[in-house]
Amino acid sequence: MTEVIDRRAGRVLLVDLAGRVLLLHGGDPARPEQRWWFTPGGGLTPGETVADAARRELFEETGLRIGPSDLGEPVHHEVTEFSYDRRQYRQEQDFFLVRVADWQVDTAGMEEAERLTITEHRWWSAAEIEASAEQIFPVDLAALLRRHTADAVPDGRC
């Protein structure tokens, strides 16, 4: 029986003025032929809260540094199971919504493992997500984006 690693994660729905969400494209080094799109974020390090992890990962993966009060409460919670680098994970994750007027992604802060697995980024609308044949996570992202951006007013952060 394969051991399943339980972990917590913080993720960010980074949304621009047009209501598009920033997604990263990457994959698993053990399965280089498989690629998917996903939100910035990742697992907690010892002593971190879910919000701390979301803020740290957002900075590492996009270059955007935000303060603790910029996250608010999570807008979505899920439990997902996946394999990565020949290990099985069960990940409980919270998603935070962050609005920006615009953002030019800066990947200079990525850790080595992120550099090996994340190959590009792109802003996606809910309609583009729904029309895509690519793997995009979380699986209900288009509905989630629509639900939380219907009356969005960006805070002007750039």
pLDDT in tens, the chain (158 residues): 689 999 999 999 999 999 999 999 999 988 988 999 999 999 999 999 999 999 999 999 999 999 988 999 999 999 999 999 899 999 999 999 999 999 999 999 999 889 889 999 999 999 999 999 999 999 999 999 999 887 654 444 43
Nearest CA-CA partner of 121 in 100, 104, 140: 104
Q: Would you state the structure tokens that stand for residue 67, as one six-digit string?
A: 């303060």
Residue 154 lies in a domain: no
CA dist 143 and 158 (Å) reads: 26
Q: What is the CA radius of gyration of the chain?
A: 15
Q: Which pLDDT belongs to residue 155? A: 46
Q: Which domain holds residue 110?
A: 4-149
Q: Which pLDDT belongs to residue 60? A: 96
Residue 59 lies in a domain: yes
Bond prior to 40 in cis (omega within 30° of 0): no
Could you tell me the CATH number of the domain that includes residue 120?
A: 3.90.79.10
Q: Which pLDDT belongs to residue 32? A: 87
Q: Which pLDDT belongs to residue 1? A: 67
Q: Which pLDDT belongs to residue 151? A: 61
Residue 55 lies in a domain: yes
Query: 44-63: string of b/e by CB count within 10 Å (b at 16+)?
Result: beeebebbebbbbbbbbbbe
Residue 156 lies in a domain: no
Q: Which pLDDT belongs to residue 152? A: 53
For the chain, what is the domain count? 1
Q: Which pLDDT belongs to residue 110? A: 94
Q: Determine how β-strand 87-99 pairs with β-strand 4-15.
A: parallel
Residue 76 lies in a domain: yes
CA distances from 19 to 32, 56, 125, 147 (A): 31, 23, 7, 11
Q: What is the pTM of this model?
A: 0.91
